[in-house]
Chain A
Amino acid sequence: MKIGILKRLEKIFGDFYLALILIFLYAPILVMVVLSFNSSKSRTRWGGFTWQWYTQLFSSSMIMDAFKNTVIIALLSSIIASIIGTAAAIALNDMKKLPKSMLMGATSIPMLNADIVTGISLMLAFISFGISLGFKTVLVSHITFNIPYVILSVLPKLKKTSRYTYEAALDLGAGPLKAFFAVVFPDIFPGILSGFLLAFTMSLDDFIITHFTKGAGINTLSTLIYSEVRKGIKPSMYALSSIIFLVVLILLLITNFAPNINKVHKNTKIKGMR
């Protein structure tokens, strides 16, 4: 009897604690969504409901350009990182212990290092070699920090595949490319996909490395928001982030709760916020 009460108390306490943390985590997001419908420009006064920030959002060429840059850089960098990273993972899986552990050590540098250091080191490199900062340098930087996520997502899948099936395919007359795509690729595809998705979101969310490698002429959403911090953020930015939040929510609900999609990226999504 006493134990029953204790258990129930523990459950109530647990629920209470979860609720508190949830409020802490979601309060700012709620604020943002509410402000995106606030017709008063003041961030602290409610002036009535409006859609005007949403219409303004789509007519602002500055925001739309930044949005386009963000998506293009995220897409390109994660695709290129997936190709280089998958190729590297296949080779790494075959390597002897010493060169492999050296390369894996180097792979973990961008993940463990502080973003500000990665950012300034890349900036110094581009400038030292006379490459002017712009779209290209941001793209290269994003590929650099994206590759490790792909490698770390693909390697565990490769470890599970048997190399004999691949060799059997070769013995049966398939070329290396055909053998790879017919035998190995289907096995490791979930790993590549989750690496790609992880890289894509890391790229979308990055501010610090972009800040140092972008130069003057180009903005992503993050850098545009940062440049507005001092002047005061435009409410259309809240509208945009509310839309992004909704889209991400829907995508995540589909990928998380649809069967058949593995959850590697949930475990690797540890370093973020960059």
Chain B
Amino acid sequence: MNNFLSKIKSRKILVFPYVFWILGFTVVPLILIVIYGLTDKNGVLTFENITSMGTYEHMKALILSLLLSLISTLICLLLAYPLALILKKRGAGAGRFIVFIFVLPMWMNFLLRTLAWQTLLEKNGIINGILSLFTLPGIAVINTNYAIILGMVYNFLPFMVLPIYNVLVKIDDNVVNAARDLGASRRQTFFHILLPLSIPGIVSGITMVFVPALTTFVISNILGGAKILLIGNVIEQEFTRGSGWHLGAGLSLVMMVFIFISMALIAKYDSQEGRTF
């Protein structure tokens, strides 16, 4: 009895509701995806759901998703790094305000923001309207892969800016100044000091952009029209329109391979940093 009471006093029991929750609503559901993905409607073990990723239609969607999300991630990185550097140079006070301004659009419903891009890009849309005012030729971007890339960059750019900015502001200015005093050129300072020190931020930015871009079905649906199918669209349709749950689960298992790769990358750089969250 005494033993029991002292156990109660130990604060560890407070974790029980959470453990229950995690098992019930995170671990078990993930196991269910594996079970559904590896069985057919009659519950018989099969690899058909997985291998169907190899069919032309599904492979095309997967490769297109990989391609578009990699391009978007690269563009985000190229846009975000100089931005984060500029923000760092503006100093703490101004930097904080500007960061606020860059995060603010994220609080607006992302479906509505993406829809607004549709309005901007449409054939008779606002951008073409402005272009025709100056008698410039219009652009035909909507319902193409370019529109999807634009939507991905627009929606996920802040995910790249924030982690990079967060590592850059932690770099002591004296380190940079020391390199300059010791005769390093601006370029050398960048490639030998700033870039290596900011790699953890870059890695987490890349995964923060790559995973949602790879798996999106909303952006491709709104900006790509109904014709361009990404792997997210294929899986979403299996679950909401048909009743191809087994096939959908199998395809998600294949997609999850890429998510695991980026999770592993994050974990590697996290442990290198010596922090456990």
Contacts and interface: CB of A to CB of B under 8 A. Distances in A.
A106 B26 contact: yes
Interface string A86-115: 011011101100001101101111101111
Interface in A177-211: 201, 205, 207-208, 211
B79 A252 contact: no
B113 A121 contact: no
Interface string B1-26: 00000000111111101110110111
A106 B22 contact: yes
A237 B29 CA distance: 34
Contacts of A241: 108-109, 112
B229 interface: no
Interface stretch (A28-36, A47-55, A56-64, A71-79): A28-36
B109 A94 contact: no
Contacts of A114: 211-212, 214-215, 255-256, 259
Q: For A21, A116, A155, A271, which residue has the most chain B Cβ atoms within 10 angstroms?
A: A116
A123 B215 CA distance: 17
B103 interface: yes
B235 interface: yes
Nearest to A92: B15
Contacts of A244: 108-109
A103 B20 CA distance: 12
Q: For A21, A24, A85, A233, which residue has the most chain B Cβ atoms within 10 angstroms?
A: A21
Interface of B is mostly: helix
Contact of A88 (B14, B216, B217, B240): B14
Contacts of A118: 29
B117 A28 contact: yes
Contacts of B99: 266
B115 A225 contact: yes
A229 B221 contact: yes
A87 B11 CA distance: 9
B191 interface: no
A142 B157 CA distance: 24
A44 interface: yes
A152 B215 CA distance: 25
Nearest to B33: A121
A125 interface: yes
B276 A125 contact: no
Contacts of A84: 17-18, 21
A125 to B, nearest CB: 4
Contacts of B124: 44
Nearest to B10: A94
Interface in B235-277: 235-236, 239-240, 245, 248-249, 252, 255-256, 259, 262-263, 266, 276-277
Contact of A107 (B22, B249, B252, B255): B22
Nearest to A88: B18
Contact of A124 (B19, B36, B113, B158): B36
A90 B9 CA distance: 13
B102 interface: yes
B82 interface: yes
Interface in B136-164: 154-159, 162-163
Contacts of A248: 104, 107-108
A197 to B, nearest CB: 11
A107 B11 CA distance: 19
A143 B21 contact: yes
A273 B79 contact: no
B63 interface: no
B66 interface: no
Contacts of A245: 107-108
Contacts of A116: 215-217, 232, 235-236, 252
14 contacts: A18-B98, A28-B154, A32-B116, A35-B119, A87-B15, A88-B15, A91-B15, A118-B29, A121-B30, A125-B25, A125-B32, A143-B25, A151-B18, A273-B156
Interface of B: 9-15, 17-19, 21-22, 24-30, 32-33, 36, 79, 82-83, 86, 89-90, 96, 98-117, 119-120, 122, 124-126, 129, 154-159, 162-163, 166, 204, 207-208, 211-212, 214-218, 221-222, 232, 235-236, 239-240, 245, 248-249, 252, 255-256, 259, 262-263, 266, 276-277
Given A32-B112, A90-B14, 4 more contacts: A25-B105, A116-B236, A122-B25, A147-B18
Interface of A: 14, 17-18, 21-22, 24-29, 31-32, 35, 43-44, 84-85, 87-88, 90-92, 94-95, 100-101, 103-104, 106-110, 112-118, 120-125, 128, 140-141, 143-144, 147, 151-152, 155, 176, 201, 205, 207-208, 211-212, 221-222, 225-226, 229, 233, 237-238, 241, 244-245, 248-249, 252, 256, 266-267, 269-274
